[in-house]
Amino acid sequence: MGLYLGLDSSTQSLSAMVIDTTEGRVLLDQSVNFGKALPEYASPSGFLAHEDPQIKHANPLMWVAALDLLLGNLKAAGTDFSKIEGISGAGQQHGSVYLAKRLDEVPAWDASQDLVSQVRPLLSRATSPIWMDSSTSAQCRAIADAVGGDARVVSISGSRAVERFTGPQIRAFYERDPQGYAETREVHLVSSFLASVLVGKTAPIDHGDGAGMNLLELASGTWSPELLTATAPGLAERLPPAVPSRTIVGELSGYFVRKYGFKAGTPVVAFTGDNPSSLVGMGATEPGTAVVSMGTSDTVFAAMRQPLTDPRGFGHVFGNPGGGFMCLICFANGSLAREKVAERTGLTWEAFERAILQETEPGNQGNWLLPFFIPEMTPKVLSPKVELFGNPQFTAWEQPAALARAIVEAQALSMQRHSDWIGEQPKVIRVTGGASRNRGIRQVLADVFGAEIRSLSVGNSSALGAALRAAEAVGSVPFPRLYEAFAATDDASSVTPRIGATEVYGDLRQKLVERLAALGA
């Protein structure tokens, strides 16, 4: 029992949460927004602008700068890091970082200098492709062809070769910049990179995040020689080992001890992906509870009774940090798409909520939209495509209330459509993420799925999951006991389906299926 720190490096921010397992409460929950706090990295939404909408990269030094900035802010505010018993964290999944030197061979970080100046010379690639990148279709095809097709990739890794996954991104780097790849000695995920920065040496990749690479053999928990060979030459020697999520990867570097007051020897638990971490933070590591996370992207995930795979190829199987496996379906057009509608219609989030709850009805009188403001992976739509459908007057952006409902209904219907392969119709769905605080959005989810929607009392489930994982691995506090204290739902915010609402979505669901089929998605 004691205090544990969880870190979460998401698309747009870095968060820190400290929990007290003795008293069962959250002591600290702070974050820094990359765009606002670090404008010098020119990433207002967490990634760099590019003329090609399929290319989405970030500067990995921004994540390093955010770590120094956040810890510095917390120390200045009086946080006593010497009481922290253990640390873990999470990073946005699939993003990759390329180093010209193995971190095991790098001198210890110098506390008299900032981290960015020490990490910059180590990079063999100046930018990191992140989960939003969809520029690797040719590489996905080549990897699948090399091993005998999509079905073979799925049977090994739990997912077909996917544009945003790390394996195809590594292959693209090898093909587009062979010299840069040749100079690369170590390839990390965002999660293992940040863990490595903390311990000052090479940290392994955990099974939860590693499964999102199209490189991990799920059956054995080791890198697949077949997929490694199909991806890039010499890749096996460039990857850290894959380990179970509860592995202690090292002790905190002296840099953080001297600069921020952590105690020497503080253990660091393997970092995982933000979605596996949220599964823990939502108290959902046992089968039976579905989770919808509504952040920059939207995700639907759940612990699995058995490792099923999606016959349509959109769903994925990852390692469950609590043991076994989890399924996940990711939708790129999450909050970014909702924000586009709010901006274009001039709606505040309060007005957005009111439009859904008071000014429109389920089904939206047959009005709906195709919500792909950026390239989408579920379904696969590689070029942005936004269209309005319905009544004749619903052809221009002149009905703010109807448009607010239209974007949310389209997203909820797509979630339901593309998660049906899991084989279980959830009766209760836990929600997390910034958009989940909007009661109108929760109500649409309840009506579409015909399920009760419950919100977590703590907002940042990924950072919470990281702190809980540190407590479980370092402090040996069982997950069930941690869930009782930290993963309770806020009953006052729960919503249930409106009478008769679920039934009205049959026609809209069919329209969605037909339109996606017309797009070949």
Domains of the chain: 3-270 (3.30.420.40), 283-456+488-521 (3.30.420.40)
Retrieve residue 406's tokens: 């239209």
Residue 319, pLDDT score: 92
261: amino acid identity, one letter: G
Q: Measure the CA–CA gap between 192 and 97, rounded to whole angstroms.
A: 9
3-state helix, strand, coil split of the chain in percent (to 5) is 40, 20, 35
445-489: per-residue pLDDT in tens? 999 999 999 987 777 889 999 999 999 999 999 999 999 999 988
CA distance 467 to 477: 11
The rounded distance, in Å, linking the Cα atoms of 58 and 49 is 9
Q: Are 89 and 249 in contact (CB under 8 A)?
A: no
Contact predicate 185/149, CB 8 Å: no
Distance CA 450, CA 445 (A): 8
Helix axes of 349-357 and 335-345: crossing angle, nearest 10 degrees: 90
pLDDT score recorded for residue 71: 98
> How far is residue 271's CA from residue 195's CA, in Å, rounded to a whole number?
6
Burial class (CB in 10 A: 0-12, 13-18, 19+), 409: buried
Q: Residue 356: its pLDDT value, please? A: 97
* pLDDT (0 to 100) of residue 205: 98
Q: What is the pLDDT of residue 515?
A: 80
Per-residue model confidence (pLDDT) at position 295 = 84
Does residue 307 contact residue 317 with C-beta atoms inside 8 Å? yes
- Count the neighbouring beta carbons within 10 Å of the beta carbon of residue 286: 16
d(CA 104, CA 185): 11
Parallel, antiparallel or unpaired: strands 3-9 and 84-91: parallel
Threshold 0.85, pTM exceeds: yes
pLDDT score of 273: 97
The confidence score (pLDDT) of residue 520 equals 67
Q: Looking up tokens 């170590």, which residue turns up?
A: 186
Q: From residue 423, how far is each of 151, 155, 283, 356 by CA, in Å?
A: 20, 19, 21, 30
Q: Is the peptide bond before 321 cis (omega within 30 degrees of 0)?
A: no
Which alpha helices (DSSP H) does 148-273 contain, by range?
150-157, 166-176, 178-182, 190-199, 207-210, 225-231, 254-260
Instruction: Name residues of the chain where pLDDT drops below 70.
Output: 1, 520-521
